[in-house]
Amino acid sequence: MKNKNVRFFCSALAFLALLILLLIPLSWLLARKSLALPWDTTTKISGFYNEERDQFEVMFFGSSHAYATFSPLELWEETGVKSYVFATQQQPLWATYTYIKEALKTQDLSLVVVDCRMAFGEQEYYDQGVTYSYMDDIPLTWNKVELALQSAPDLEGRLSTLFNFMMYHDRWSKLNRQDFTFRRDQARDPYKGYVMLSPQEKPMPRPAIETVTDRTPLLEKNRRWLEEIVRLCREEGVDLWLVKTPSNLELEEKALLNTVEDFAAENRIPFHDFNEDYEAIGLSEDMFHDEHHLDVFGASRFTRFFARALTESWPELRTDWEDPAWAADLETYRAEVEGYGGQP
């Protein structure tokens, strides 16, 4: 009887393993892929996993405010410091935590920079569009399993985020050539996670956030994951810098950001709100792609300003000025900027 139970258990385990091995390639095939510029998130996230080990000294995490603001190639040109933007649309803090853990598997980072926009979130769980945008492009690891547990309130939702075959099983009729030819193991993003956004003609006025001194409590789940990010960075011996990139903060957002600033002070974490530095950066109301995201020229000016702040606060960061691959990527970047009319 005991041997029959052992055989049954082994057979069930083998079947489960075979099922997973079949589901993984099907999930990669059927999953929605963001490959069209400038929103080529699949290339940017998948491309990170194909980068050289221990290459990056600094990495940026957060929502679209991070990937539309930090330009690693310009930062390298200014400082010699190599970096990558590992950000996704509306990336909640529990996803940021996972992305930091994933980055630390291959990169010996000195500094993690987190744009704290999503600390303002009011949701325990996000809709499928947001959830799949941060789940689809990272590989199936224990980190991804733990992230799935935080990303849905029930078992069905958690399994669906983990094995997106359940979400995309009806995409067969919509598959195109790229679904079959795209190779995640060959993906590479020359802009290192940065999303270059075009200029717009409509000026985006900046609210008078200086008048806001109130503090609005953070959602408890957001505060807990901020604490987990702090703990993780300390355990790994990596410096953490909480920032808010220029994004024309709404007044209610400023009250939440004041709470994040208090949190940073309580935990002895460096904090900076760059919305207070528009004049010093040289930003104007017409340097935004939309209401809250910098365009290519705004991001360029910000990155150059950020480069000075970075080297002043972390002067010992490792540099590599002579990398020909980065020099070639910078030329590609400059050519695209020229297409928008050159430098601001």
Map out the domains of the chain with their CATH numbers. 31-339 (3.40.50.1110)
pLDDT 10s digits, 208-250:
888 899 999 999 999 999 999 999 999 999 999 999 999 999 9
Instruction: Please give the order of strands across the beta sheet that includes 58-62.
Output: 83-87, 58-62, 111-115, 239-244, 271-273
| Phi, psi of 181, deg, nearest 5 | -100, -20
Distance CA 220, CA 224 (A): 6
Q: 306-310: which pairs have CB atoms within 8 A and are 24 or more residues apart?
A: 306/70, 306/75, 306/274, 307/74, 307/75, 307/78, 307/79, 308/78, 309/272, 310/58, 310/75, 310/79, 310/81
pLDDT 10s digits, 320-344:
999 999 999 999 999 999 988 765 5
One digit per residue, the tens of pLDDT, for the chain of length 344 reads: 556 666 656 665 665 555 555 555 656 555 666 666 787 889 999 999 999 999 999 999 999 999 999 999 999 999 999 999 999 999 999 999 999 999 999 999 999 999 999 999 999 999 988 998 999 899 989 999 999 999 999 988 888 888 765 555 555 566 666 666 677 788 899 999 999 999 987 888 888 888 899 999 999 999 999 999 999 999 999 999 999 999 999 999 999 999 999 999 999 999 999 999 999 999 999 999 999 999 999 999 999 999 999 999 999 999 999 999 999 999 999 999 998 876 55
How far, in whole angstroms, is CA 177 from its chain's centroid?
27
The C-alpha R_g of the chain, in whole angstroms, comes to: 21
Amino acid at 302: F
Cβ contacts of 195 within 8 Å, gap of 6 or more: 38, 39, 44, 64, 67, 68
Could you tell me the two tokens for 29? 């095939």
